[in-house]
Amino acid sequence: MERQHLMKEQMLRSIGNDITKWVKEDGGYDYHLVSTIAEWIMVMFNQLIFLSFTWEFKFIKFEEPTIAILLQ
């Protein structure tokens, strides 16, 4: 019960005046900054992983499918 109360209190303190802009005066700015940087690092690593498959993608070939219509 105590933990839920503390979490709720922290959430209320971290809300600023404008939810579209987060400034240093708003509570939780440091956590927001760290999470944003971590998110962008994760995006870059995902892009690197995707780019590492380019060699394998060179061997994939697509062919036009053949469509047959059977009328009875």
Task: Check if the beta carbon of residue 28 is closer than 8 Å to that of residue 46.
Answer: no
| Residues contacting residue 22 through CB under 8 Å, at least 6 positions apart | 16, 29, 32
Residue 16: the pLDDT is 64
* pTM assigned to the model: 0.54
Q: Locate the domains of the chain by residue range.
A: 22-52
For residues 6 and 48, which has the higher predicted lDDT (pLDDT)?
A: 48
Asked if residue 9 has pLDDT above 70, the reply is: no
Q: Which residues contact 31 (CB under 8 A, 6 or more apart)?
A: 14
Instruction: Give tens-digit pLDDT for 22-66.
Output: 777 777 788 888 989 999 999 999 999 999 998 888 888 999 999
Q: Report whether pLDDT(13) > 70.
A: no
